[in-house]
Amino acid sequence: MNRLLGLISAPIALIFTLVVAAGALTLGGYDPGAAFGALVEGALGSPRALASVTLVRMVPLLLTGLAVALAFRAGLWNIGAEGQLYAGAAMAVWLGLNAGALPSWVALPGVLAGAALGGALWALIPALLRLRLGVGEVITTLLMNFVALNLAGWLVHGPLQESRGVFPQTDPIVEAARLPLLVSGTRLHGGLLLGLALAAVLFVVLRYSAIGFATRAVGASPQAAASAGRIASGRILLGVFLVSGAMAGLAGGVEITGVTFALYENLSPGHGYTAIAVALLAGLHPLAVVVTSFVFAVLEAGASAMQRSAGVPAAWVNGVQALVILSVLAVDQVLRRAWLGRRGEADG
Amino acid sequence: MDSLLLASFAEAAVRLGVPLALAALGETLSERTGVINIGLEGSIIAGALGGALGALAWGSAGPGIVAGAAAGLFVALIFAVFAIALNTDQIITGTAITLGGLGFTGVIYQAQFGTTGTALSLPTLEALPIPGLSAIPIVGPAFFAQAPTAYLAYALAPALWWLLYRTEWGLELRAAGEEPDAAAAAGVRVRTLRFITTLFAGALAGIAGAHLALAHTGTFSEGMSAGRGFIAIAVVVLGRWNPPLVLVAALFFGAASALQFFLQTLGWQIGYQLFLALPYVLTLAALAGWLGRARAPAALAQSWPRLHD
């Protein structure tokens, strides 16, 4: 029944968001039609815009969105994807700078695996705090984000700063550790295929494997999973936490090996937080995350075009992201109550 | 160390700590009733914009502070309608409120003042030295020659402690955050209490934002809250949900950021980011129990009443 609600509520929420967003634009004295038109034109209007801007923007949202969706499915409130992304990026840069004369087929997978490991290690700390000491992961993952941001800042000002010593950024990683382009002449890199493959793998594992069943059971009710299904919820949660961190770390690794080739302070404009909206709008379904990460990428990629041609401030897009989350929450609650009311099970 | 330098460092530590203290003291109260509002950042940035617009409209900083409080309260009201009245998840709702607060304040600012990048010049909130106390060496100028909002923070810390631990209402607040079912059975109006403390926290976060715009910089810029809402949540934890300790923790975080400028004036270019990370690491250590027991209210972040499905 929750599945069904998830499927219905996302489109309703999206329509609701569009109506509210259009209303807000009209109130602000803008032409909503022109604004949406400019946004879509900017993000999808040419093959070049689609490949070089929108799809490139989609990749980190897809990977962090999957990370958040997996964690939330298991009932883990990992809001630390942002920090895990930075941990992965830092690891990728460090390895990518030192990959030296390694052939590409060793260097690139090695760097990406290192990024995943970095993200997983960053998630290990809140995981241990939760599982050993019972400290809730909400606050700890949030705190770890700020530790990661500041450490990344320290790295690019200090030990890993570029050899010229001018800007707070690292040197570029070696060519062999860079992701190949998917479409030559654009900036679209192989990270997209990696993200799509991971979405498919995650879907199959969650849906059809014993571990996937255990993960969903723990998310539904850890007590019931332990008593009725003899599921060791601690081990499942540890595994989910690490894999979630690894995917967010991979997002950082893909940004380094596919887009920037170097680490700097504002590498991520908050992908790890947008990922929460991405995962939520997808009803935490891995394949739906592919769609919602594309929707958010269109919003973000089209924002500057909208500002240029329709005069709507680009920050409006952040407002729309917030509206999406609130609409999903509200529609979900209303549908849930309607459902429970019909079954006469609403409690007080 | 040069005593002049020390005095300016102490003054900066307190000045940077005050907005954190205001936001964290409000958040302490709401977390005690079981509500964690990650949207505090949204209230702070709204307070900064509200403070700027209010100060411009009335031509002085005082009304700006009031407008900032109103803006922060309004944002917290949206959070409360969702997370308390509609029972949506507090964490996700708070994330949305932060995103929306940062987004819509940017839109309103650009719609009002354009994107030319010329900095807004606002009436500033002047320091109000307390006669006598401000003459004490180092401590005086640091603590008692600050903007009036600082004195609000000093006064709130003991007042909220007294409220929480010495009044019946405080007992009800804590009960709502520890055992909402039992509290409700004993006649405590859990939702009402959660609403009130959340709005109170929003108003204080709004004042914190207005303080940033009017007492620190005399201008508004997009995203100027710069993560202080999240820092305030860490401050609450480091202060163990106890108002006087929360004030101390806020000043500690303030000192860590003041050290950044201090080290830069001494010519240390590297390493200050480590000092910025240090308070978060200490907060994690506090949660892990390495700095004595720090336990969150048992029902923190849980919506109430819980619906079964």
Closest by Cβ to A143, choosing from B100, B106, B283: B283
Q: How confident is the model at residue B89 (pLDDT cuts 50, 70, 90)?
A: confident
Contacts of A139 in chain B (CB under 8 A): 36, 233-234, 237, 287, 296
Q: How confident is the model at residue A347 (pLDDT cuts 50, 70, 90)?
A: very low
Q: CB of A27 within 8 Å of any CB in chain B? A: no
- How far apart are the C-alpha atoms of A81 and A68, rounded to whole Å? 7
Is the sign of the CA dihedral B257, B261, B267, B269 positive or negative? positive
Calculated CA dihedral for residues A167, A171, A175, A176, nearest 10 degrees: -140
Closest by Cβ to A329, choosing from B38, B82, B309: B82
For residue A181, the cross-strand partners are A189
pLDDT of residue B8: 85
Is A344 a domain residue? no
- How far apart are the C-alpha atoms of B170 and A211, rounded to whole Å? 46
pLDDT in tens, B119-145: 778 888 888 888 888 888 878 888 888
Closest residue in B to A343 (Cα) is: B309
From the CA of B281, how many Å to the nearest CA of chain A? Answer: 7
pLDDT in tens, A277-302: 899 889 899 999 999 999 999 989 99
B6: its two tokens: 């020390």
Closest by Cβ to A319, choosing from B87, B103, B111: B103
Q: How confident is the model at residue A342 (pLDDT cuts 50, 70, 90)?
A: low
Closest residue in B to A76 (Cα) is: B91
- Structurally, chain A folds into a number of domains equal to 1
The A residues from 234 to 293 touching B (CB cutoff 8 Å) are 273-274, 276-277, 280
Comparing B48 with A315, the larger pLDDT belongs to B48
From the CA of A211, how many Å to the nearest CA of chain B? Answer: 24
From the CA of A273, how many Å to the nearest CA of chain B? Answer: 7
Task: Tokens 């309260």: give the residue.
Answer: B73
Is A67 a domain residue? yes
Name the 3-class secondary structure at B164. helix
Q: CB of A1 within 8 Å of any CB in chain B? A: yes
Calculate ∠ Cα A223-A229-A231, nearest 5°: 70
- Please name which of B250, B231, B222, B268 lies closest in space to residue B109, comparing C-alpha atoms: B222
pLDDT surpassing 80 at residue A222: no
Is A347 a domain residue? no
Closest residue in B to A29 (Cα) is: B111
Domain ranges of chain B: 3-117+135-288
A218: its two tokens: 């723990």
Report for A261-270, B191-200, B214-223: range of highest mean pLDDT = B191-200
Is A52 a domain residue? yes
CB B48 within 8 A of CB B68: yes
Q: CB of A347 within 8 Å of any CB in chain B? A: yes
Q: Which domain range does residue A154 map to? A: 2-339
Main-chain phi, psi angles of B123, to 5 degrees: -60, 135
Q: Do B296 and A313 touch (CB under 8 A)?
A: no
pLDDT of residue B308: 47
CB B31 within 8 A of CB B296: yes
Read off the CATH number of the domain in which A268 is found. 1.10.3470
pLDDT of residue B309: 42
Q: For chain B, what is the total number of helices (H) and then of strands (E)? A: 12, 0
pLDDT surpassing 80 at residue B285: yes
pLDDT of residue A5: 62
- How far apart are the C-alpha atoms of A238 and B221, rounded to whole Å? 41
Stated as kind and residue range, the H or E segment containing B157 is helix B148-166
Closest by Cβ to B103, choosing from A317, A333, A340: A317
Comparing A269 with A338, the larger pLDDT belongs to A269
Is the sign of the CA dihedral A13, A14, A20, A21 positive or negative? positive
Closest residue in B to A334 (Cα) is: B86
From the CA of A190, how many Å to the nearest CA of chain B? Answer: 30
> Which CATH class, in words, describes the domain spanning B3-117+135-288?
mainly alpha
Contacts of A339 in chain B (CB under 8 A): 309
pLDDT surpassing 90 at residue B7: no
pLDDT surpassing 70 at residue A343: no
Is A155 a domain residue? yes
